[in-house]
Amino acid sequence: MAAAVIALTATGCNPQELAQQAGSPTWLSVATGGTGGVYYPYGGGIAKVISDHLGSVEATAEVTAGTVDNLKFLNDQSADLAFALADSLSDAVAGEGIFSEFGRVPARSLAVLYSNYTHIATLADTGVERIGDLRGRVVSTGAPGSGTEIIAFRVLEAAGLDADVTRQSLGASQSVDALKDGKIDAFFWSGGLPTGAVLDLATTPGMTLRLVPSDDVLPALQAKYGDTVYHEVTVPQSAYPDLDADVPVVGVANVLAVHESMPDDLAYEIIRALFEYQPELVAIHAEAENLTLESAVVGSPTPYHAGAIRYYEEQGAWGGTDEP
C-alpha cells in the first residue's frame, strides 16, 4: 500500500488508473479515524469484505484524524472511500465552513451507515451533570481535523460556552487517558455504540463514567444548521457500564463517501458486497447491524453515486429521484 501511495503521488494517477497501468490488483484506501473509535474497526471490516469478495480489488483501512481529513484525502484521491459525518460532509460539498478556504470536495455517497452519538464524557466525581457545568472547565474537543471537533465547537457555541472552557485537542483514546489522569474534566466524542475508548473508561476500576445529555442544545443547532443534519438520539443505559439512565444526545449521520470519479461498476460492486456480506461486518463491529436498505438512502447531504443508485434501484429501495 505504501508503494502504491508513493507511485500515486509521483504520477498523479488515481489508484484505479495506477493498477490498470501496472496490470496489478486495484488498490483501495479506506480513510477511517482513530483506533479508539468505531470508524477504524468498521472500516477494517469494509476493507476485508472488499478484499475477500471483489476479485482483483484489494482494500486497506487507514488510521486518520477523522472526517475532515478524510474528505480532504478523498478530494485529492489519496483515499478512495471515506467515513464522514453528515455535518462536515455538507460543508465539504458546498465549500463552506471549515472547507471555505480548502474549496468544494467532489464527494458522492454510497450509503448512510449509522448515527453518531455525541458523547460528552466525564467522571461522576467531577460534578459535571449538564453542559452548563462545563463552564470554566478543561475540555477535550477532539483531534484536529476530526468531525468530533466540529460538533464539539458547535455544541459549545449553542450552549453559550465557546469562550468559557479551556480546550484540549485530543482523540478519543488520548482523551480517556487525560481524564483518568485528571488533566481534563470532560471530553467530546462523536461516535457509534459502543465506542471502544469510552468502554475502556467505563470499565476502569475505581472510576464511574457519566455521559452528559446534549439534547437541550438541539433546537439551536437545528435552527442554524437544519434539522436534516442534526437529530436526537438516545444512548441506552445498556450501552456502557455504570450509566444510571438512558442519555438523550445530539445525533448526526455517518456516511460512506467516495470521489465522484469512481467508476460506476466499482461503486456498484462495493455497495453490493457490503449488503450481501453484512454478517461479516457485524462480526467485526455491532454498528454494522444498522446498515439497512431503508436507512442507507436517507440522511445524506450530498448526492449518491450513480453506481450506488443502480444497486438501490435493483433492490427497490430508491425513491426514483436524483437524491433520496
List pLDDT tens digits, range 144-172: 878 899 999 999 999 999 899 999 999 99
Classify each residue of 22-47 as buried b or exposed e, where b means 16 or more C-beta atoms within 10 Å of its C-beta: eeeebbbbbbbbbebbbbbbbbbbbb
Q: What is the pLDDT of residue 18?
A: 42
Contacts of 74 (CB under 8 A, 6+ apart): 31, 80, 82, 105, 107, 257, 258, 259
What sections of the chain are H helices per DSSP? 2-11, 15-22, 39-53, 67-75, 86-94, 147-158, 172-180, 196-202, 218-225, 264-276, 278-284, 293-296, 306-314
Q: What is the pLDDT of residue 254?
A: 95
* Interval 274-295 mean pLDDT: 96
6-11 contacts at long range (C-beta below 8 A, 24 or more positions apart): 8/77, 8/78, 9/78
Q: What is the pLDDT of residue 2?
A: 37
Mean pLDDT of the chain: 91
Q: Is 226 left (phi over 0), alpha (psi -120 to 50) or beta?
A: left
pLDDT tens-place string over residues 19-29 = 444 447 899 99
* Interval 305-322 mean pLDDT: 89
- Asked if 194 contacts 229 with a C-beta cutoff of 8 angstroms, the reply is no
- What one-character DSSP code corresponds to residue 108? E
Q: What is the pLDDT of residue 11?
A: 35
pTM, two decimals, is 0.79
In the beta sheet, which residues pair with residue 85? 254
Q: Which of 138, 177, 157 is nearest to 217 (CA)?
A: 157
| pLDDT surpassing 60 at residue 321 | no
- Distance in angstroms (rounded) separating the CA atoms of residues 274 and 28: 15
3-state DSSP call for residue 135? coil
- Distance in angstroms (rounded) separating the CA atoms of residues 293 and 291: 7
In the beta sheet, which residues pair with residue 295? none
Q: Which domains does the chain have, with CATH numbers?
A: 2-113+254-314 (3.40.190.10), 116-252 (3.40.190.10)
pLDDT tens-place string over residues 73-117 = 999 999 999 999 999 999 999 999 989 999 999 999 999 999 999
Q: What is the pLDDT of residue 37?
A: 86
Q: Which of 64-78, 80-94, 221-235 has the lowest mean pLDDT?
A: 221-235
3-state DSSP call for residue 57? strand
